[in-house]
Structure 1
Amino acid sequence: MNRALRYVTVGAVAVSLLAGGSAAAFAAPQHLHSPSPVVATAPAAASLTAKASTTTVKAWQEFRISGVAKGIKAGSKVTVQQKQGVKWVSLPAQSPVNKSGAYSVRVKLGLKGANQLRIAAGQTVSPVVKVTVR
């Protein structure tokens, strides 16, 4: 085929495609062009519960704080925090969250008197738990 005939053939095919002859075969399905409603869902807010196994202990007597972590990934560490003056201080008592969201931390306190404790995982904290050390 000579060059001029090739150009005419390619030109005719291009014109028919542009005119919509076989353009539908090359077009994307219609559902890709129409917007579908997008429903934005906020992630579940993380929360922690906490309960001490006892409310009164002797100095350095071990007790447990246990609870459930919701919206916190399994394997993440929860840490015990103690209120000292006006600040919350993290204690070296940690425990991982299991697959069902439960945790249990062993704690020993030496600071006599009423102690305010809470569990923390990142910015998420539990309600305050009170334990008195005698």
Structure 2
Amino acid sequence: MSLTYPHRGHAALRVGGACVLLALAGCSNGGNGSSNVTTPATTSASSAPSTSNAGATHITIKNFTFSPANLQVRPGTKVIVENQDSVTHTLTATGDKAFNTGDIDPGETATFMAPSTSGSYAYICTIHPNMKGTLTVS
């Protein structure tokens, strides 16, 4: 009498095959030429405000510039700041100091929540005060 289970290998193959099919189905675009993948909108360093509807939004620091320099968000939006420069920066609200990332080292990120009160919040890098931007909460 054998104590091996000849069908055990077949069950593992069926489960593995099902996983592969599910993974491929998730990558499929349904054959209609459109993609279900959502890519983030790109922002530029222009002074025109950009809009964020829900979820987190990003500000990039590169070449001693905030990008976008002017950003419009909803109250309480999570803002992720990425430092792509080779020196440390901050992103600090002027006036009432409604937000402050503290030091962000090169290659690092910091996160803050947009104020819950609507308004326009000017910000700077406290290390390099010539770096300026505005967060508009509405």
State TM-score, norm by structure 1: 0.41
Larger strand proportion, structure 1 or 2? 1
